[in-house]
């Protein structure tokens, strides 16, 4: 979406002195903006995932491999339980 399209959807709120105090943004546009802010265009990862320390990513991967080698498997539905909570 180009800037002109975004600007045409935004409404400004002014106070009694005519000073702009707030901005009204349609929900759909807001969700698109937040989505684009929260993800990296190259990797597609959310900002929080991009900021996770490499040591933590490696530790999580090692733990997953250890669990798989030990035969500890989980239903796919459980993978998303912590995300929905």
pLDDT one-digit tens code per residue, 52-79: 788 888 998 899 899 888 988 877 777 6
Name the pTM for this structure.
0.42
pLDDT one-digit tens code per residue, 4-55: 888 899 999 999 999 999 999 999 998 888 777 766 666 666 666 767 788 8
Give per-residue burial for 40-68: e unless 16+ CB within 10 Å, then b: eeeeeeeeeeeeeeeeeeeeeeeeeeeee
């Amino acid at each position: 979406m180009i800037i002109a399209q975004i600007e045409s959807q935004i409404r400004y709120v002014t106070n009694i002195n005519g000073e702009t105090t707030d901005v009204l943004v349609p929900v759909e546009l807001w969700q698109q903006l937040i989505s684009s802010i929260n993800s990296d265009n190259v990797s597609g990862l959310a900002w929080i995932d991009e900021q996770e320390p490499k040591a933590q990513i490696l530790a999580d991967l090692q733990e997953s491999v250890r669990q798989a080698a030990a035969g500890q498997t989980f239903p796919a539905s459980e993978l998303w339980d912590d995300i929905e909570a």
